[in-house]
Amino acid sequence: MRITGGQVFDVKEGFVQRDVCFDGRLLSGSSAGGRTYDASGCYVIPGLTDVHFHGCRGEDFSDGSPEGLEVMARYELSRGVTQICPAGMTLLEDQLVRICQVAAAHRAADKPGAMLCGVNLEGPFLSHAKKGAQNGAWLQAPSTQLLQRLLKESKGLVKLVSVAPELPGAMEFIEAAEESVTVSLAHTTADYDTSMEAFRLGARQVTHLYNAMPPFSHRAPGVIGAALDTPGCNVELICDGIHIHPAVVRATFKMFGAKRVILVSDTMRAAGMPDGQYTLGGQDVVVKGKLATLTDGTIAGSVTDLMGCMKTAVSFGIPLEDAVRAAAVNPAKAIGIYSRCGSLEPGKRANLVILDQNLEIKDVFFRGEPVAVEE
């Protein structure tokens, strides 16, 4: 296959006009095949990687359903998300084990849909004061023993672990865990000094920046200021038009730079579904338009998939090349899969998306083959 005429995303140069070639599952410098795809007037970008989403199409990763995970993987792929790292919620230990086992079995069976490249543990090591939509009854202090069990049950798929660094034992947990997983600060009341110590000990990411943490202010910069002062610390951003004001999205890209921002969707099971009543982590959620809330009004995740979040970022004034980097390159690096995907270099997987001038999906290729696209 040779894709010609399109504006192709290049990690170093932004968008350039060149051919993209692949025969079989991998990108190549040339194509021996006879098929040509005319992408004139379109953008050619790498398949996206969502490192933080809970569900879609009526399913939730926390349910621990093998069939549900298949539904999620198929839907994500149809939306140009070719690699997924689904997130669990704050759950009891047996259910955390269950979701890790389901993920490992899904990966081993090479099920259809987006490639499952990791598991994100958003909980249970979080602050009750900033629990957001997490179930406060199931929160617990950071436990290295539990993390090791979940790493074992997932066959090493746990890639991200969220933790509130002010909790008892959190610093010891971060120091012990940082060689095995990416530790991300989240759902926290931590101040600047506590956060800086957590980053010094090995934490290197912040979960959904601004949400469920103290604000960034001139005398109390908190987690946000500490992350900014820590080179190499990445920050997640939910760019669905609900969680973060457009001006703050623009400011975040200016402050941190496009290489440190990771766009995430944080979708719950209502993504790709009509308005109505749903659940998240065992709690009731009401969805109206793009807004999902608990019965007390707390925002309960998103219903906008990652491709939609990327498009929203561009509508807020973020250059397309920066938005693509934040949705494809940076998340792939964060979970250690960038050597295989996340850009359009020869030798990487032929996972790519064709977008029209309005950034609507025209086609998705996964492992070199076209897949059905959903609205």
Burial class (CB in 10 A: 0-12, 13-18, 19+), 289: exposed
**CA distances to 207, 217, 268, 269, 354 from 302, in Å:** 14, 26, 6, 9, 24
How far is 208 from 132, CA to CA, in rounded Å? 12
Q: Are strands 87-88 and 119-121 parallel, antiparallel or unpaired?
A: parallel
Q: Record the tokens describing residue 70, joined without a space.
A: 């298949």
Q: Record the tokens describing residue 253, joined without a space.
A: 């890209």
Determine the length of the chain: 375
DSSP structure string for 63-82? G--HHHHHHHHHHHHHTTEE
For residue 240, indicate whether it is catalytic.
no
CB distance 52 to 187 below 8 Å: no
How far is 199 from 158, CA to CA, in rounded Å? 20
CB distance 355 to 346 below 8 Å: no
Pick the catalytic residue from 63, 266, 305, 322. Answer: 266
Residue at token pair 């995970």: 69
How far is 352 from 25, CA to CA, in rounded Å? 11
Q: Catalytic residue numbers? A: 266
